[in-house]
Amino acid sequence: MSTKSARDAAVPVLDPDAARAPVAPKRPFVTTVHGVQRIDDYHWMRERDAPEVAAYLAAENAYAAAVMKPTEPLQQALYDEILGHIKQTDLSVPYRFGDYFYYSATEEGKQYPVYARKHGSPEAPEEITLDLNALAQGKPFLGLGAYAIGDDGNLLAYSLDETGYRQYTLRVKDLGTGFDLPFAVERVGTVAWGGDRTLFYVTEDPVSKRHDRLFRHVLGSGVHELVYHEPDERFSLYVDRTRDRCFVLLVAASKSTTETRYVASERNHEPLEVFAPRREGHRYAVEHHGDRFFIVTNSDAEDFRIVAAPEEAPGEANWSDLVAERTGVHIDELDLFETFAVVRVRSGGFANLELLDLATHALRPVALPEMVHALGAAPNLEFGAGSYRFVYQSPVTPRSVFDLDPATADCVLLKETVVPGFERSAYATELQLATARDGTRIPISIVYRKGSGSDGAAPLLLYGYGSYGISIDPDFSPARLALIDRGVTFAIAHVRGGGELGEGWRTSGHLMHKLNTFNDFIACAEFLLAGGYASPEKLAIVGGSAGGLLTAAAANMRPDLFKAVVAQVPFVDVISSMLDASLPLTTIEYLEWGNPAERAAYDYMSLYSPYDNLRAQAYPAMLVKTSLNDSQVMYWEAAKYVAKLRTLKTDCNPLLLEVNLGAGHGGASGRYDALREIAFTYAFVLAELGATRRIT
């Protein structure tokens, strides 16, 4: 049984003996792969509708609640504190599209935003386009997918998910009458208006959830025409439209290759033409301006270059260089407007902006105030806009909306999110570099309250992801202040497999190089310990989805480094899931993880798959979180992992499984419900690190 020992008496103690931990029965499920016999004692947990599965998940939730009961006052304090940092009634910055200014509004006490607009001016009377609070009544979950306004401003195509399974139903609302048109389409992904009353939309396969079909529907016709079916299971479809509204684009994308089809909006009834035929490894994105197409391509340019082609002959043979590939600069996206263009790039590990002169093709960098920062696009729907809108933030700068003046490169602040109780001068950020075992330097973004950063005694929470080329940029989090104000340093390990340092950074952390991701993360932890940022008794790690794989793998490989581990919706049963092509996402993810039907890939996955590498040893305290309706990482991965680990671990540390029975991959959809989940997680971390008292 746990004791308080040297901890502060005010720190709640998580006692794993507060209740009897669930014991899952073992029912061996035997398969043979490449001559290797695989025995899975908990395969039965995949039977979602079986009463015994529901009973087991309920028992795990009850056990987690019992162990966490001493933290309930802390959870409430954290929730109240986090809520106190949020301006609950607020408006987004309006953006223009056509004759209207669009925005969203939150109201104190309501879980969801209301979407609205004003005609002609931000001071005009308000028109509600979509009230998610009304639509969510009586539902445990509500997620908004598509939100696409028709060209004339009279119609809204929108889609909703009511379970968390990412299964969206498409509807069209007549904004004049306020009523939906009499049709609904299930399992819809992206949508795009075709210039009149023609709507293009993509649907998913009901089993694999791969978006594989494009339909065209003229409102009122009753006909939903199948335009294209993508047969290759590695590819998924999304439909879009160029900013000048001249072309509808259909993109087929795998993890390594893209292919675009296009049709002119004014001829949207015609067949779509292939822009540049797919070839393995070639990724490109298309935009349109005047009489030319602009293309961002990785052809002969690992980190991409920009080319142009005449509208009447856009094939690769006619591509001409505009912006060459540059060492250390990865081109993420090109935003074209009538009189200017903006290039979003990654350089030095962070997102940055450059202005592209459409006549000379010269580039001009945009100055940003902090080295450690996060940057993203805001809605920029008007081709004739005179400025570019973007969102900027950092660990010590709240979310801020700017307009970039293309003539002067000046950034005009439109709104900085109000964060009650936050004083910027009390906090500091750093960028450090850890050295991986192969000598590679791994960036770490760090934020802490001044006076509590690097004395060797401060608790620290290390976050990581490292997959799919996704960059984890250091943003601002009002909720995170509840940790930092208790002396917890927060750090992000920008490990390989992510996209922070370009395409090579991604490819050196996937497929047969995936071990680099885990070794990098461990190297970052060791660097922080050696640098006096924390000690093993004060170091916790957290990650979700592929980041949950990361934290679970790190716990297997170096359990001695960590006091606590949080694995959220973790991808921990890598081999079993990747062997099952009937599961959502499996086939399209072969290019990220490999296909274990191939012996080399199977053997390599066997080196790191957390479920397969659990063994008899002492583990840190662990909180594993999952959701019953998750379609990306199935709930049973976390459930099986915890059940197996309980039979192997030699320590007396808490091992908790918390299952959200009414949500999907992202957890609760309502903002207050989501804050409750954060407070629960933070209470676990703070209790284990012995850091529950606020710094005054």
Report, as residue numbers or ranges, the catalytic residues: 545, 630, 665
Fill in the DSSP letter of residue 89. Answer: S
Tell me how far apart the alpha carbons of residues 592 and 506 are, in angstroms, rounded to a whole number.
10
- The Cα–Cα gap between 563 and 566 comes to 11
- Closest alpha carbon to 559 in 577, 540, 576, 578: 540
CA angle 498, 569, 458 (to 5 degrees): 70
| Beta bridge mates, 119 | 100
Shortest CA distance to 207 belongs to which of 587, 502, 663, 660?
Answer: 587
Both tokens of 399, joined, read 């979310």
Closest to 147 (Cα-Cα) out of 124, 175, 122, 125? 175
Contacts 24+ apart (CB under 8 A), 116-125: 118/94, 122/94
Task: Report the candidate in 188, 138, 142, 132 with the shortest Cα–Cα distance to residue 162.
Answer: 142
CA angle 613, 614, 618 (to 5 degrees): 135
Contact 467, 508 (CB under 8 A): no
For residue 70 the two structure tokens come to: 């001493």
- Residue 393: burial class (beta carbons within 10 Å; 0-12, 13-18, 19+): buried
Helix or strand (DSSP H, E) at 122: none
* Pairing outcome for strands 247-253 and 236-241: antiparallel
Distance of CA 72 to the CA centre of its chain: 29
3-class DSSP state for residue 283? coil
Give the three-state DSSP class for 306: strand
Q: What is the dihedral of CA 72, 74, 80, 81, to 10 degrees?
A: -160
- Alpha-carbon distance of 679 to 665, in angstroms, equals 18
